[in-house]
Amino acid sequence: MEFARALLRWQRMYGRNDLPWQGTRDPYPVWLSEIMLQQTRVATVLSYYSRFLDRFPDVATLAGSPVESVLQAWAGLGYYARARLAHACAKAVVTEYGGTFPRSAAELAQLPGIGRSTAAAIAAFCFDERAAILDANVRRVLARRYAVEGDPAQRAVMDSLWTVAASLLPGSRDMPRYTQAIMDLGAGICTARKPRCDVCPVQDGCRAYRMGRVEDFPARRKASPRPVRSAHFLVALRGRHVLVEQRAADGIWGGLLGLPEHPEVRTLRRQARSLGALAPPMPLALRRHAFTHFTLAFTPHLVRLDPALHRAPPDGSLRWLALGEIEGAALPAPVLALLREVRDDAADAGSGLTGVR
Ligand code: SF4
């Protein structure tokens, strides 16, 4: 219990207590914050969370909205499978539980997109359940303090960590603060690089610290080089509009809007010709975007079409998007960044200043 007591004391004084999803026992905003925080830092989530809640204030509204509007509100947060699963989860809560989230971690873990640790966090924060969380930050804290050897990617190591996590829990009354405390410790003190052991509230009894082997825990997998996938994107401008396509639901950026993508320049040029381009598109500088399992290296190719042509996009997944509307569109972050440059340069070109970089 000393571990929990020390963390609770520390959290009261130094932990995060004013995040917008704290101070409520309503599982809907708590669930939403937990899903957004998977693989995304608090600072990034903050700007999306409130806007998302304004647009989808309760689980019934979210469940009843088209998935496209959910993806649009999620655009820029990345890991879009989370948005689709969040929508599926809301639907399941409405159809299977009459619009009220179940109260136990075991039931919550059955819902789409809610894993064991997220279910435990919701149950602890909202219903005081004595359920342990074990996200990446907590795995690191426990692996160090209890010197759990081995790679957490291995089942046996993960099982040991779950056992340790469960053995440390305080009484149910303290579960919300304890859960926040261990999250805060992993995010701000026992960090992956340069942990702040000198101010750590559980330094006393930390085995890795005592052995001088903090950096050895948790054991890291040998990083294999991330494969690179290349693609060519057509940036077709017609006046102040750009051609965009609705991406397929599966695959990267599934369900979002994107620029027409081609594996080869040859097919990209053919598409430009079909739109009425008189000259081949101009290749712009290569860009890279890192996904979890690969890096996408893409070359945008810019072509300006004659606005007088009014040629309709050739198939139903394509449409013209006004450059003035890109901020509110469901565009992935790297595409939005590119289109911002195109928009700004188009404005400068209109005033006779410059061309696209
Ligand atoms: S003493 Fe250092 S390694 Fe141990 S739990 Fe605290 S911050 Fe982590």
Query: Does the pLDDT value for residue 353 go beyond 50?
Result: no
Of 260, 10, 29, nearest to 141 (Cα)? 10
Tell me, what's the pLDDT at 317? Answer: 87
Tell me, what's the pLDDT at 350? Answer: 56
**Least confident interval from 67-71, 168-172, 308-312:** 308-312
For residue 252, name the pLDDT band (cuts at 50, 70, 90).
confident
Residues 181, 238, single domain; the answer is no
Establish whether residue 86 lines the binding site of ligand 1, counting it when its CB lies within 6 angstroms of any ligand atom. no
Residues 39, 174, single domain; the answer is yes
Atom of ligand 1 nearest to the CA of 189: 7
Angle at 268 between CA 264 and CA 273, to 5 degrees: 145
Joined together, the tokens standing for residue 157 give 């190591």
Tell me, what's the pLDDT at 349? Answer: 63
**Rounded to 10 degrees, what is the CA torsion of 232, 238, 239, 241?**
-70
Query: Does the pLDDT value for residue 276 go beyond 80?
Result: yes
Tell me, what's the pLDDT at 314? Answer: 65
The CATH number linked to 295 is 3.90.79.10
Residues 181, 257, single domain; the answer is no
**At 290, which amino acid appears?**
A
The domain containing residue 87 runs over which residues? 2-132+168-188
Q: Which of 138, 140, 142, 144 to mutate to test the pocket of ligand 1 (most atoms within 8 A of CB)?
A: 144
Establish whether residue 144 lines the binding site of ligand 1, counting it when its CB lies within 6 angstroms of any ligand atom. yes
Tell me, what's the pLDDT at 57? Answer: 97
Distance (angstroms) between ligand 1 centre and the Cα of 209 equals: 6
> Which residue matches tokens 């304890």?
178
Backbone Cα Rg of the chain:
24
The CATH number linked to 59 is 1.10.340.30
Establish whether residue 206 lines the binding site of ligand 1, counting it when its CB lies within 6 angstroms of any ligand atom. yes
Distance (angstroms) between ligand 1 centre and the Cα of 144 equals: 7
Residues 260, 116, single domain; the answer is no
Residues 109, 254, single domain; the answer is no
**Residue 37, domain member (yes or no):** yes
Query: Does the pLDDT value for residue 351 go beyond 50?
Result: no
Tell me, what's the pLDDT at 315? Answer: 74
**At 186, which amino acid appears?**
G
Residue pLDDT, tens place only, 24-68: 999 999 999 999 998 888 999 998 999 999 999 999 999 999 998
**Residue 328, domain member (yes or no):** yes
Annotated catalytic residues are: 34
Tell me, what's the pLDDT at 352? Answer: 41
Give the pTM: 0.81
Residues 42, 184, single domain; the answer is yes
**Backbone dihedral angles phi then psi of residue 304, each to the nearest 5 degrees:** -105, 125
Name which residue leads in pLDDT, 81 or 125. 125
Residues 175, 235, single domain; the answer is no
Residues 176, 58, single domain; the answer is yes
Where is mean pLDDT largest: 100-109, 317-326, 343-352?
A: 100-109
Residues 236, 184, single domain; the answer is no
223 CB-contact burial (10 Å; exposed 0-12 / middle 13-18 / buried 19+)? exposed
Q: Which of 142, 148, 197, 204 to mutate to test the pocket of ligand 1 (most atoms within 8 A of CB)?
A: 197
Residues 11, 99, single domain; the answer is yes
Establish whether residue 214 lines the binding site of ligand 1, counting it when its CB lies within 6 angstroms of any ligand atom. yes
Domain count, the chain: 2
**Least confident interval from 104-118, 259-273, 341-355:** 341-355
**Residue 146, domain member (yes or no):** no
Distance (angstroms) between ligand 1 centre and the Cα of 260 equals: 48
Establish whether residue 182 lines the binding site of ligand 1, counting it when its CB lies within 6 angstroms of any ligand atom. no
Q: Which of 214, 215, 216 to mutate to test the pocket of ligand 1 (most atoms within 8 A of CB)?
A: 214
d(CA 241, CA 117): 44
Query: Does the pLDDT value for residue 214 go beyond 50?
Result: yes
Query: Does the pLDDT value for residue 311 go beyond 70?
Result: no
**Residue 177, domain member (yes or no):** yes
What percent of the chain has a predicted confidence (pLDDT) above 70?
Answer: 96
Tell me, what's the pLDDT at 209? Answer: 98
Query: Does the pLDDT value for residue 71 go beyond 60?
Result: yes
**Residue 18, domain member (yes or no):** yes
Residues 10, 123, single domain; the answer is yes
**Residue 175, domain member (yes or no):** yes
Of 297, 302, 309, nearest to 284 (Cα)? 302
Strands of the chain, DSSP E = 228-238, 241-246, 257-258, 261-262, 282-283, 287-290, 295-305, 318-322
What percent of the chain has a predicted confidence (pLDDT) above 90?
Answer: 81
**Residue 208, domain member (yes or no):** no
Residue nearest (by alpha carbon) to ligand 1 atom 8: 190
Residues 23, 78, single domain; the answer is yes
d(CA 141, CA 259): 42
Establish whether residue 89 lines the binding site of ligand 1, counting it when its CB lies within 6 angstroms of any ligand atom. no
Q: Rounded mean pLDDT of the chain? A: 92
For residue 2, name the pLDDT band (cuts at 50, 70, 90).
very high
Beta bridge partners of 246: 257
**Residue 292, domain member (yes or no):** yes
Calculate mean pLDDT across residues 212-229: 89
